[in-house]
């Protein structure tokens, strides 16, 4: 276990040793790793990323990161975040159902948090709200080139909500050279459930060769269900549908001036969640191992995503210019069954026993962003720089209502809303940021970055209903100014191996509390931003004639003024405060090895110890030393893939993998009588085999080979006390499928 002092000492020693033991400058012809394209050669390919807002080799980026290739996801039937998150070191998913998903990197999560700690970028533009964790992009991978997962705070280049890390979806660009297209279909069968299918198509049209091209893609997908509801007499209630498309255009106006524009739309819906009901702090099913009971008309989610992006790049005055304009919309309708929490209160108010309680959740966020930046040409000069300004304007409209319903039919009981809250909010941020990189020699350089952000927020709440004591309203404004920085010395041991250090900071915005009338005056009307500082040391390199790639990192994170969810013991209302502190420390390693032509062995492992360093206030029962929610101490993945010639233009492919996710603690409890739910570890395995040529690919796959029952999250049916049965989110059971792709 590393203390902060020990880690900072190691970091300083690394920087000092880098300065003392700098070797002579490298010869020009060995300054960059070899790029290899052929499928049967022994060398590993160079992976290009844009983590630092410029195109460069992943091995040169002084950030711990993982790149996920979208083509690999499609060939293995992985179409959703839940299908591949466990293969990324340090990444966890906390799915609360009804479309509400929280991303966690390196354990930076307090459980029932309101504001996100992981940023999301699509086409180099921020996506989703800065003040709610509902708006998580779960894009179908068909028009994605690759996904970059950046671990640790990225506040300097990416601003708010990236204090834990960042996920970047890099989309496929149109090609102005030649006409091309691709069609793909997928058919699968899930144990204990139904059949799933998908159809996808894309076409690239070069309207003016070398000048103008348009790419059009579309998909439709049905995700199989595997959870039954015996109370409603329904089977496979968690099956879902998704569909969407994207139109993108590239115009090379001149040799230096390029314009990119894209429009993307995706709709998804699910009839019910994948939670199964178990007893309090046990794995004993209330009904069956694939059953839950919910009120009719609840536990569903309808999500609509719209993304509009315009990018302009040019070169003038010896500098590269980039402009990224975007507007995105995210809409969620997700009613929930909250009878376990509010059923007793409804009985007291209405005097009618056995009422069911539904909460209607409707949220919509519209987000406009604009970024301008200038950067020096990437021409090997000693001093390079990047600077820019950023602006965002978000409008979120939210609606919640508690409604008494008939337990059997789900029909409105006719009492009106027991509680209603309409809560519009605004979020505006202006920021200026910059990075400089100075090369002392070809072997050693230092990057220094900074960002100043000015934030203005507005909140309003319009309440009604007997639980609130009648109609009322309030509004608040908040402002905040935040400075973040990063410092990264980078030292190349040779042309192929790089060691780096990184100190960086991050933050997320504050917000307002929606308080019942009885709570007002007792608790704060708003909470402020929280922040953290991260210390990281890493080593990246290619070894053994580029047949082996190794990425490793050690990290230590200080987190202060944490946004924590509290519960009023009088009314059961949840609110947020800034309280307590925490740390996260650990290590990550990724390995890719090609010992012979066509064979790749890859593995990763992550150790993350994320704990409170200060007890939380009464109302959320966490004590110093307690682990932060939903972060496994250990996780890892090991896979092997072998591609071999079959004769002519055909190749065969065989592969297998195993993934381990360690135990995780559930959220902090809301009462002294409740214990935190311990989610047990699970291991899954997968197999795939296929045949491919230059034009087509057919792949057979098996996911969750042993039909393991792993659980992603645990939610108490009584959210106020936590003394109740729990709903456990179940991973997809064994699924067998076939995927076929034809390119032209």
Q: Reply yes or no on whether the pLDDT at 438 is more than 90.
A: yes
Q: What is the residue-wise DSSP string for 351-417?
A: --TTEEEEEEEEEEEEEEEEEEEEE---S--SEEEEEEEEEEEEEEEEEEEEEEEETTT--EEEEEE
Question: Mean pLDDT of all residues in the chain?
Answer: 89
CB atoms within 10 A of CB 15: 18
pLDDT of residue 528: 85
Q: Is the pLDDT of residue 617 over 70?
A: yes
Q: For residue range 534-566, what is the model confidence (pLDDT) as tens digits? A: 999 999 999 999 999 999 999 999 999 898 877
pTM, full prediction: 0.90
Confidence grade of residue 113 (pLDDT, cut at 50, 70, 90): low
Q: 77: number of CA atoms within 13 Å, CB side?
A: 30
pLDDT at 515 over 80: no
The DSSP line for 159-181 is -TT-SSEEEEEEEPPP-SS--EE
d(CA 252, CA 346): 63
**Cβ proximity of 110 and 564 under 8 Å:** yes
How far apart, in whole angstroms, are the C-alpha atoms of residue 499 and residue 488?
A: 10
- Burial of 41 by CB count in 10 Å (0-12 exposed, 13-18 middle, 19+ buried)? middle
253 pLDDT band, cuts 50/70/90, is very high
**pLDDT tens digits, residue range 323-341?**
999 999 999 999 999 999 9
Per-residue pLDDT reduced to its tens digit, 347-386: 999 999 899 999 999 999 999 999 999 999 988 889 999 9
Contact 105, 553 (CB under 8 A): no
**Position 7 confidence tier, pLDDT thresholds 50, 70, 90:** very low
What are the beta bridge partners of residue 560? 531, 581
CB atoms within 10 A of CB 45: 17
Q: What percent of the chain has pLDDT over 90?
A: 70
Q: Which residue has the higher pLDDT, 21 or 723?
A: 723
- Structure tokens of 5? 């002092």
Return the pLDDT at 518.
57
Span 178-189, mean pLDDT?
97
Q: Which residues pair with 498 in a beta bridge?
A: 492, 540
Domains in the chain (CATH in brackets) are: 4-738 (2.40.170.20)
Give the helix/strand (H/E) hosting 4.
Answer: helix 4-20
What band does 512 get if pLDDT is binned at 50, 70 and 90?
Answer: confident
- CA-nearest of 66, 54, 189 to 702 is 189
Whether 661 shows a pLDDT value over 80: the answer reads yes
455: β partners: 429, 480
**CA 404 remoteness from chain centre:** 35
Tell me how far apart the alpha carbons of residues 430 and 39 are, in angstroms, rounded to a whole number.
46
100: three-class secondary structure by DSSP: strand
Task: Tell me, rounded to whole angstroms, the distance of Cα 731 from its chain centroid.
Answer: 17
Confidence of residue 474 (pLDDT cuts 50, 70, 90): confident
């Amino acid at each position: 276990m590393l203390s902060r002092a020990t880690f900072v000492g190691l970091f300083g020693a690394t920087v000092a040793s880098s300065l003392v033991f700098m070797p002579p400058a490298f010869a020009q012809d060995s300054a960059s790793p070899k790029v290899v394209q052929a499928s049967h050669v022994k060398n590993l390919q160079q992976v290009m990323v844009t983590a630092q807002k410029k195109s460069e080799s992943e091995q040169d980026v002084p950030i711990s990161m993982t790149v996920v290739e979208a083509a690999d996801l499609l060939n293995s039937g992985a179409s959703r975040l839940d299908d591949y998150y466990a293969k990324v070191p340090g990444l966890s998913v906390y799915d609360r159902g009804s479309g509400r998903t929280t991303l966690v990197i390196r354990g930076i999560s307090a459980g029932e948090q309101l504001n996100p700690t992981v940023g999301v970028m699509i086409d180099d533009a921020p996506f989703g709200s800065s003040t709610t964790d509902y708006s998580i992009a779960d894009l179908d991978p068909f028009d994605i080139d690759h996904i970059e997962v950046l671990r640790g705070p990225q506040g300097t280049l990416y601003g708010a909500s990236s204090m834990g890390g960042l996920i970047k979806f890099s989309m496929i660009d149109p090609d102005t050279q030649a006409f091309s297209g691709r069609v793909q279909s997928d058919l699968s069968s899930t144990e204990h459930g139904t059949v799933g299918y998908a159809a996808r198509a894309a076409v690239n049209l070069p309207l003016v060769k070398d000048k103008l091209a348009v790419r059009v893609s579309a998909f439709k997908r049905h995700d199989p269900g595997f959870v039954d509801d015996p109370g409603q007499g329904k089977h496979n209630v968690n099956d879902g549908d998704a569909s969407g498309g994207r139109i993108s255009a590239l115009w090379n106006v001149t040799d230096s001036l390029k314009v990119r524009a894209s429009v993307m739309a995706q709709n998804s819906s699910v009839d019910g969640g994948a939670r199964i009901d178990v007893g309090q702090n046990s794995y004993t099913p209330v009904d069956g191992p694939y059953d839950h009971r919910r009120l009719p008309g609840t536990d569903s989610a309808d999500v609509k995503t719209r993304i509009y992006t315009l990018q302009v790049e040019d070169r003038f005055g010896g500098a590269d210019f980039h402009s990224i304009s975007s507007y995105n919309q995210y809409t969620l309708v997700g009613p929930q069954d909250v009878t376990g929490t509010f059923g007793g209160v409804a009985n007291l108010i209405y005097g009618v026993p056995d009422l069911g309680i539904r909460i209607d959740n409707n949220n919509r966020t519209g987000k406009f962003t604009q970024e301008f930046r200038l950067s020096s040409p990437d021409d090997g000069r000693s001093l390079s720089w990047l600077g820019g300004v950023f602006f965002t304007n978000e409008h979120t409209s939210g609606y919640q209502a508690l409604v008494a319903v008939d337990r059997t039919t789900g029909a409105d009981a006719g009492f009106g809303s027991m509680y209603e809250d309409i809560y519009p909010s605004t979020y505006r941020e202006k920021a200026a940021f910059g990075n400089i990189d100075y090369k002392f020699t070809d072997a050693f350089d230092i990057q220094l970055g900074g960002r100043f952000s000015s934030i203005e927020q507005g909140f309003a709440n319009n309440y009604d209903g007997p639980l609130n004591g009648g109609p009322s309203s309030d509004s608040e404004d908040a402002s905040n100014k935040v400075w973040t920085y990063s410092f990264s010395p980078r030292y190349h041991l040779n042309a192929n191996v790089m060691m780096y250090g990184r100190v960086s900071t991050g933050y997320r915005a504050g917000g307002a509390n929606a308080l019942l009338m009885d709570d007002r005056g007792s608790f704060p009307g708003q909470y402020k931003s929280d922040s953290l500082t991260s210390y990281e040391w890493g080593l990246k390199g290619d070894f053994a004639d580029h047949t082996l790639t190794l990425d490793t990192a050690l990290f230590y994170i200080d987190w202060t003024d944490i946004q924590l969810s509290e519960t009023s013991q009088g009314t059961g209302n949840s609110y947020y405060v800034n309280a307590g502190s925490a740390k996260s420390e650990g290590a990550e390693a990724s390995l890719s090895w090609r010992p012979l032509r066509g064979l790749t062995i890859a593995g990763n492992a992550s150790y993350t110890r994320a704990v409170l360093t200060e007890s939380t206030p009464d109302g959320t029962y966490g004590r110093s030393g307690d682990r932060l929610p939903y972060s496994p101490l250990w996780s890892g993945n090991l896979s092997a893939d072998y591609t071999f010639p079959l004769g002519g233009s055909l190749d065969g492919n065989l592969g297998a993998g195993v993934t381990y996710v360690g135990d995780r603690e559930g959220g902090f409890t809301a009462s002294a009588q409740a214990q935190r739910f311990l989610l047990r570890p699970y291991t899954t395995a997968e197999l795939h085999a296929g045949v491919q040529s230059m034009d087509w690919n057919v792949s057979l796959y098996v996911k969750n080979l042993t039909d393991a029952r792993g659980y992603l999250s645990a939610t108490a049916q009584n959210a106020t006390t936590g003394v109740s049965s729990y709903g456990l989110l179940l991973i997809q059971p064994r699924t067998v499928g076939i995927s076929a792709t034809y390119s032209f």
